[in-house]
Structure 1
Amino acid sequence: MDTLDLLVHPVRLRIVFAMSGGQTRTTSDLCAQLPDVPKTSVYRHVGLLAEAGVLEVADERRVHGAVERHYRLRGDRAAIGDDVAAAMSLDDHRRAFAAGMAAVLAEFNAYLDRPGADPMADQVGYRQGVLWLSPAELTKLIDQLRSVLRPVVENEPTPERSPHLMTAIFFPATRP
């Protein structure tokens, strides 16, 4: 399975999201974090990600006669590179976008289904608007966003920090 086919799947994207941040997790941990996904599916997708090297075994322990594997995300393998993106067809882009949106929707629904979910208190935001930008202005905006986000992207989990999923989408809109 190539990188595109491997990563362009809503459940595998959610596993990659869950594994972000440098921590290790077992497949059982992931099943608990993705309660809306059947356990057999989580195990199958973790196996595919591990076989492809996106997840690596960080530790193995014997638990009740079985081997429990603790996985770590290989960030360098968990993204579609520029070379692959440049070779993607329009249908590949359509499929990747749909998988990404399905993963975001599933994560948002899982958040809303948690006891005590409070979008206002949690500062949940989702807005859409049109920006009129020249190609140079768009490049500058993306560079500025990257420079703002770069310092926090590699934050390690701590008791004071909670994970936040951020999705930024830029594409040309139809002129009115």
Structure 2
Amino acid sequence: MSDVGVLHPVRIRVAQVLALGPRTGTQLRQALPDVPYSSLYRHLRWLLDAGVIRVAGERKVRGAVEHTYELDEHAVQGAVPDPSALSPDDHERAVTAFVTGLMAQAHAYLEGAEDPVTEGLTYLSAHLWVDDDELALLRRRLRELIDPLAHAVPGPGRRQITLGVVAIPQPGDRS
């Protein structure tokens, strides 16, 4: 796959449109009229190969097959069954899918947000110095906080949020 991991503006825009719901290629062309036809389909192919989007349906239109595309929720959620089996390129595609999906969800939310802070919009990046034991403890505590809520069901007073957490080791001293 060429162009691995690059958050290309057209790909981000396609993901933003698909965050609003599934769209056919024709609907994507209408939503992105400034993007040339061949360029759009090249970026759709990249997003499909990277696992950011998937084909949600197909139908025959005048002898051709029209695809309906949607964000791949598993990729957007970072649901990788066995991360240890991934190559560095696979990890880059997975992170790209995850980040692109978060950006698309944020865009879809902000399109209609009245008061993002009061409604709960939060984003944070923190640079931490940790050893292996502290990192393992951080992962465990995040799981302890997130797992019970991940299995909660809709109900009065409850609303769904997307929580994205990424821990990226920084290049340099790995002693």
Normalization by structure 1: what TM-score?
A: 0.49
Normalization by structure 2: what TM-score?
A: 0.50
